[in-house]
């Protein structure tokens, strides 16, 4: 699976959009980009995934660049409950390999 690079930590003001970047420059054509988050020590929670096109669901939006070498997860109106570690993972048919993720802290 392709390796991903994410910032170690980010802060965001409550009510503002949180934009979490991820680099995956070695991604191959059949690999998907998945985002999960982990709040404190709970089990990771699926957020969104995509292949080429931008995706949106009730939780977030995923913007994938045209060359697919990077992506951005957007939480449109961050709340305090969005404070968590966010993992960007590139997956093909094999198992998911979690990196260190980005620790997002939403501040009042």
Q: Which residues bind other proteins (CB under 8 A)?
A: 32, 34, 38, 41-46, 49, 87, 91-101
Tokens representing residue 23 in the block? 């680099």
Please report how close the Cβ of residue 12 comes to other proteins at its closest, in angstroms.
Answer: 22
Report the residue number, 14 or 91, with the smaller CB distance to other proteins: 91
Please report how close the Cβ of residue 42 comes to other proteins at its closest, in angstroms.
Answer: 7
Report the residue number, 94 or 108, with the smaller CB distance to other proteins: 94
Could you give the 3-state DSSP secondary structure of residue 80?
helix
Q: In what order do the strands lie in the sheet with 84-91?
A: 9-13, 102-107, 84-91, 32-38, 45-50
């Amino acid at each position: 699976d392709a390796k991903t690079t994410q910032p170690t930590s980010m802060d965001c003001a409550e009510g503002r959009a949180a934009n979490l970047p991820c680099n995956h420059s070695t991604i191959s054509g059949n690999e998907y980009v998945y985002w999960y988050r982990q709040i404190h020590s709970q089990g990771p929670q699926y957020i969104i995934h995509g292949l080429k096109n931008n995706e949106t669901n009730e939780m977030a939006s995923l913007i994938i660049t045209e060359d697919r070498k990077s992506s951005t997860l957007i939480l449109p109106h961050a709340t305090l409950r969005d404070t968590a570690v966010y993992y960007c993972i590139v997956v093909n048919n094999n198992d998911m390999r979690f990196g260190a993720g980005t620790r997002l802290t939403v501040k009042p």
